[in-house]
Amino acid sequence: MHELSLSLNTVDTVVAQAQKQGFKRVTKVTLAIGTLSCIEHQALATGFEFASRGTIAEAAIFEIEAVAAKVWCLDCQQYVLIAERGICCPICQGYQLKVEAGEELMIKHIEVE
């Protein structure tokens, strides 16, 4: 379950940044996660809750913002949105798609006290 290691790394990063800036408590963490990232949101949330125990991020609100998968179709030369990997372009039914967005995992926002 790679979500646990992602959660541990996220908590470590959030706590380190908050402490570096002199804050005593993290109240909210927002992650941006691409729909093609293969990350299970609920498992990540559970992992975050576990990983934050005993840290200044304990009991922080954990929020996930989904990032749509935007691809460039090499066949019809247009940007399109897709729901998952392995599907064709909804415009021309081509399969030569270059992912532009939708694979990311990033800390988007941290709220602190």
pLDDT at 18: 97
Q: What is the CATH number of the domain that holds 19?
A: 3.30.2320.50
What is the pLDDT of the chain when averaged over all its residues?
Answer: 96
In a domain? residue 85: no
In a domain? residue 86: no
pLDDT at 1: 54
Question: What is the count of structural domains for the chain?
Answer: 1
Q: Which residue has the higher pLDDT, 30 or 2?
A: 30
102 alpha carbon, distance to own chain's centre:
9
pLDDT digits (tens, 9 = 90+) for 71-109: 999 999 999 999 999 999 999 999 999 999 999 999 999
Give the full edge-to-edge strand order of the sheet including 105-112: 61-67, 26-34, 105-112
In a domain? residue 92: no
Question: pTM to 2 decimals?
Answer: 0.86
